[in-house]
Amino acid sequence: MSAIVDWYKDLMYNRNDPRTNDWFLISGPGPILTIIVTYIYFSISAGPRYMRDRKPYDLKNTLIAYNFVQVLLSIYLVYEGLMAGWLYHYSFSCQPVDYSNDPLAMRMAHGVYLYFLCKLIELLDTVFFVLRKKQRQISFLHVYHHAIMPICAWIAVRFVAGGHGTLLGVINSFIHVIMYSYYMLAAFGPQIQPYLWWKKYLTMMQLIQFGIIGVHNVQVLFNGCNYPKVLAGLLTINSILFIYLFGAFYVTNYRKTSQPKKEETERKQSQTDAVKDKKSD
């Protein structure tokens, strides 16, 4: 046990990013783990029990405002990620972490921290589902995704607030610009639904996102880059897992549902052709 404690202390207090040591919620894993455990408990147990005998809340205006703010935050994160490194200064093949107080390095560190805070804010996605009694939307994929991302972002702020792994945040924020724009439009009501035919393409974009992130991180394992290989490996594994989960979601919700429609269309077409042939006879 003493060896484990010594390893933990060395990891947390000797190998961390010294610039972010005293930032809010970053000084230790206790707060973030408490938030995530509370989130999971509320999502799958406390929240549904609270809403069991209550009518769904009408959160239309709240959702419009919330999603609009998320779009703005995501745009800002993309801009900061590009200007602080990925547009001019960072290498896509290998980008070590700059632990100095250089203005660009600190700009990226603050961008990583804002990304972490946004992952916490996004837990409200599930809270809104619960309050609207949309429990069917709270799948394993949904809860896992919302629970693991704040932890990943916390690790980034605590240990590597910059460098190679930050491309994940830039790409993910770009996807979220589109995703929360969709959610904001959907919140306006049924009159907008005919214009939201592109929902399935969001899932396709997420799959492409995880593919890019996986390839981007796996190269660090082989090219001698001075970036923590453990983190690059974990990001690669997580990307593969997300590809599987989102891929299964896409097949279940779009490929399988489109097959009966295709068969129905073909059946109706066959009936129409038969009638035409009969008339021609």
Asked which of 101-115, 165-179, 185-199, 236-250 is least confident by mean pLDDT, the reply is: 185-199
- The CA distance from 149 to 116, in Å, is 8
pLDDT in tens, 149-177: 999 999 999 999 999 999 999 999 999 99
pLDDT of 42 over the 90 cut: yes
Please compute the mean of the pLDDT values over residues 55-62 and round it to a whole number.
Answer: 95
Instruction: Please answer whether residues 189 and 199 qualify as being in contact, where contact means their C-beta atoms are separated by less than 8 angstroms.
Output: no
Q: How far is CA 113 from CA 107, 116, 155, 166, 192, in A?
A: 10, 5, 10, 11, 35
Query: Does the active-site annotation cover 145?
Result: yes
The least confident of 110-114, 194-198, 265-269 is 265-269
Confidence of residue 4 (pLDDT cuts 50, 70, 90): confident
Burial 134-166 (b: 16+ CB within 10 A, else e): eeeebeeebeebbbebbbbbbbbbbbbbbbbbb
pLDDT tens for residues 246-280?
A: 999 899 888 765 555 545 545 545 444 444 444 44
Residue with more model confidence, 193 or 77: 77
Looking at residue 276, what is its pLDDT?
Answer: 44
Hey, what are 257's tokens?
């549902």
- pLDDT tens for 22-34 read 999 999 999 999 9
- Cα 25–chain centre separation: 20
**pLDDT of the residue at 3:** 86
For 87, the 3-state DSSP assignment is coil
What's the distance, CA 19 to chain centroid?
26
Question: What does the pLDDT read at residue 229?
Answer: 94
Q: What is the mean pLDDT of residues 63-88?
A: 97
Q: In the predicted model, what is the mean pLDDT of the chain?
A: 90
Other beta carbons within 10 Å of 177: 17
Catalytic option among 89, 110, 145, 216 = 145
Query: Are the C-beta atoms of 152 and 86 separated by less than 8 Å?
Result: no
The model's pTM: 0.88
Residue with the larger pLDDT of the pair 281 and 198: 198
**Does residue 119 carry a pLDDT above 50?**
yes
What was the pLDDT predicted at 20?
Answer: 96
Measured distance CA(273)–CA(278) in Å, rounded:
9
